[in-house]
Structure 1
Amino acid sequence: MKALHVITGLGVGGAEQQLRLLLRHLPAQCDVVTLTNPGSVAAGLAADGVRVAHLGMSGNRDVDALPRLTRLIRAGRYDLVHTHLYRACLYGRVAARLAGVGAVVATEHSIGESRLEGRPLTSGVRALYLAGERLGRATVAVSPTVAQRLRHWGVPGPRIRVIPNGIDAPRFRFDEARREEARAFHGLPPDAYVVGGVGRLTPGKRFDVLVRALHQLPGDVRLLLVGAGPEEAALRRTAQRLGVAERMVLTGERPYLPLPGDGAPGLAALLSAMDVLASPSPEEAFGLAVVEALAAGLPVLYASCPAVDDMPPDAAPGARRVRGGAEAYARELLRLRAVGRDERPVPDVVRRYDIARTARQLMDLYTAALSGSNLEVSSS
């Protein structure tokens, strides 16, 4: 089987890193085309031996990209096209059909209650989304919560398949040596209590809540934010205004599969450096950073995490939902700090989201899409 994955960009993000990890486990010949931004994940894919093409798309309305993508699909003689993220799903589904590829599936990574990849869920966005969705065979929802949102939008239930994101759990296992190295690299005191946040620095992630919570916490508490994005300058200004700039570290984008020769700590090492992960984003489609933190044995405070909420209550005893803003997070962080934690147990929820299991489910869907048979996929 020869498959082409079409994605909007390949900078460091949850969907982008999930694609790289997935291709390490899919038993199929896979190429990737990115419409824009061939960032560090593109370099990582190339290092893994995956062929990556950059379409050079200039914006959402660059319709000249459509014939270029169509020619690329036709020349590659792909059996199946798999699209990821809103713009790639729109252009990729149309181009696949024009190229004569009937087996087209898409993964919905980022639909929230009111926003889709940061854009408001207007009637126009919804109409365009549904028009493109009809051109594929199936849409993969990364959680039951996302599946419910898709049905609410108008995507027919039989076309939706729940295949959760996956992680390589052993990679995130706590390591004392990596903890010490990561803290030393970023100037974090060995005895500091480190609150971590992981994700794109965008308004929707609400990392400003953690900066304001830091202002209410003792001086030995540090904030370690892993990610980059348009809110970086605003976060720095807030920290400066509150007098906590010296207690906040922004690492920039950090892939969890670092490139060869990259001396900076990767995400796994940075999770080992933390004492707790906080995720104040109110609209997550899955909550990948939360699951990765749980795999590192961290306690987690979160506002939204379908990966945890869709599981039985005892599956993730180290995860606690927080309702409210900076004061609520500061209060919970003080509670966790007072309790302390000598061990880092990995909860059952982590085993549920094994990347090899995700890859097997996806291959079942590919096989069904190619045969044109019943697309029902087991969720076991």
Structure 2
Amino acid sequence: MISTLEPGGAGQQLRLLVRRLPYESEVVTLAPAGAGDVPDGVRVHRITTTRDHDPAAVRRLRQLMRAGRYDVVHTHLYRACVQGRIAARLAGVPHVVATEHHLGTETIEGRRVSPAVRALYLAGERLGQVTIAASPAIAGRLRSWGVPERRITMIPKAIDAREFRFDPALRAAARARLGVAPDVPVIGGLGRLEPDKRFDLLIRAVAEVPETVLLLAGDGSARAALERLAVIEGVADRVLFAGAVAHPREMLCAMDVFASPDHTAFGTATLEAIASGLPAVYGSCMPLEERVAARAAVRGTHRLSLDRESLPRALRAEVLCLAERRGRRLPARSAGVRYDADHLAASVGRLYERIGDRPGPRRVIAPLLGYRGRFGRKNSFPLPGGNVRNA
């Protein structure tokens, strides 16, 4: 169950899971039709709601879960976590898991982190069994909110590197559509165009890197402000806004240098960029920083400092390196199997097995609902390969 299936972010992580988990799966989204998709053959239920506290949506979710007789409900993102946990417990679902993909210090998915927002989240959290934090920072934030350590586990975000392999034909087609000549160096950024992503720094930096084009793939509330900034900086003719894309592979193929100036990001987009054979400069990418700490830095990657000159200086250096390579692509690289989609699915599968061995907290709610699991026993949960359903 997820708040929205929009391309990228949590929606992409859910798609990676659904393709790989050895269970019969269905997906519930709280977003309207058209807001993203899932792999073919997966049933999608849409229960549209725009509020975090929506009793009508909880009732519909409870009805859906009782009819589906699911063994596991796995929620993703704040709104789905709040409403899904409540509905699952009311429906007598034996096992409830949540994944937090991004919890900001000041905002969560655009809403301010007020005491009420936190209290609502904690009230629902007690109805689940475990929360998966997608990064150590999120795990720390959950602990600071009051979530017990024993109810938190860390499983990092991942990518399927094969989805981002470089294709010269795709590059040529993308550049032709964007109106970019084959020999023009393209610096690229990827992600939601929101203030905290700091694409404003990238626009200012490109003003100091002549004869290049900046390609921004994504959309968001900051787009209009970024377009005005490009005019103010005198680079409006060198900044291309591609808008939201269903999958970033084509845009990554069109780029020559990838840049992520955000110093708070997990770094999924940077992992996608290096899988496509791009050199990457980044403000924050936990997997690559781990490699640096282990004295096994990934070739063609450079972490930015907080110095305002760090970004333009790094971009100029990468453009020079591109010229020395005569435009040739770097080989595809990765940060290791820990950040591979197969490892993600295996880790989540093991978590399902582990909680399936525990007695589920159903003794209070289940008798009231007269609910018994598909397998005839409370708390029964088959191992992988069995007939299990999770939404």
Q: TM-score, normalised by structure 1?
A: 0.87
Q: CA deviation at 1:162?
A: 1.6
RMSD value over aligned CA atoms?
2.1
SS in 1 for 2:55: coil
Q: Indicate yes or no: 2:172 matched with 1:160.
A: no
What residue identity is the alignment partner of 1:28? Y
What is the match of residue 51 of structure 1?
Answer: 43
Within the candidate set 296, 299, 302, 2:282 is matched to: 302
What residue identity is the alignment partner of 1:288? T
What is the match of residue 384 of structure 2?
Answer: none
Within the candidate set 8, 13, 25, 1:13 is matched to: 8
Alpha-carbon contact 2:278-2:329 (below 8 Å) kept: no
Within the candidate set 41, 54, 68, 1:76 is matched to: 68
SS in 1 for 2:181: coil
Q: Indicate yes or no: 2:119 matched with 1:127.
A: yes
Percent of aligned pairs with the same amino acid: 48
Within the candidate set 261, 270, 274, 1:280 is matched to: 261
Q: Indicate yes or no: 2:34 matched with 1:39.
A: yes
Q: CA deviation at 1:104?
A: 0.4
Q: CA–CA distance in 2 between the matches of 1:243 and 1:17? A: 35
Q: Indicate yes or no: 2:77 matched with 1:101.
A: no
Q: CA–CA distance in 2 between the matches of 1:37 and 1:228? A: 18
Q: CA–CA distance in 2 between the matches of 1:283 and 1:203? A: 12
Q: CA deviation at 1:358?
A: 1.0
Q: CA deviation at 1:339?
A: 2.5
What residue identity is the alignment partner of 1:332? A
After the TM superposition, which residues 1-380 of structure 1 pair with which residues of structure 2 at under 5 Å, given as runs?
Answer: 6-42=1-37, 45=38, 48-218=40-210, 220-256=211-247, 267-284=248-265, 286-311=266-291, 312-324=294-306, 327-340=309-322, 341=325, 342-372=328-358
Q: CA–CA distance in 1 between the matches of 2:163 and 2:155? A: 21
Whose relative contact order is higher, 1 or 2, with alpha carbons under 8 Å and at least 6 apart? 2
Alpha-carbon contact 2:194-2:222 (below 8 Å) kept: yes
Q: CA deviation at 1:222?
A: 0.7
SS in 1 for 2:187: strand
Aligned CA distance change for structure 1 residues 282 and 148 (closer, same or farther; 3 Å): same
Structure 2: stretches of 5+ with no match in the other structure: 361-391
Structure 1: stretches of 5+ with no match in the other structure: 1-5, 257-266, 375-380
Q: CA–CA distance in 2 between the matches of 1:325 and 1:204? A: 17
**Alignment deviations for residues 242-262 of structure 1 (CA, whole Å, 9 cap, x no partner):** 222221111121122xxxxxx
SS in 1 for 2:45: strand
SS in 2 for 1:135: coil
Aligned CA distance change for structure 1 residues 28 and 281 (closer, same or farther; 3 Å): same
Q: More deviation in 238-247 or 225-234? A: 238-247
**Alignment deviations for residues 94-150 of structure 1 (CA, whole Å, 9 cap, x no partner):** 110000013000111012344433434343333332222221111111223332332
What is the match of residue 262 of structure 1?
Answer: none
> What count of residue pairs does the alignment treat as equivalent?
354
Q: More deviation in 94-103 or 135-144? A: 135-144
Q: CA deviation at 1:151?
A: 2.5
Q: CA–CA distance in 1 between the matches of 2:258 and 2:222? A: 19
Q: CA–CA distance in 2 between the matches of 1:146 and 1:327? A: 30
Q: CA–CA distance in 1 between the matches of 2:337 and 2:181? A: 32
**4+ residue segments displaced more than 4 Å:** none
Aligned CA distance change for structure 1 residues 27 and 76 (closer, same or farther; 3 Å): same
Q: Report which of the two structures shows the higher radius of gyration computed on alpha carbons.
A: 2
SS in 2 for 1:82: strand
Q: More deviation in 346-355 or 28-37? A: 346-355
Q: CA–CA distance in 1 between the matches of 2:318 and 2:238? A: 19
Q: CA–CA distance in 2 between the matches of 1:98 and 1:180? A: 54
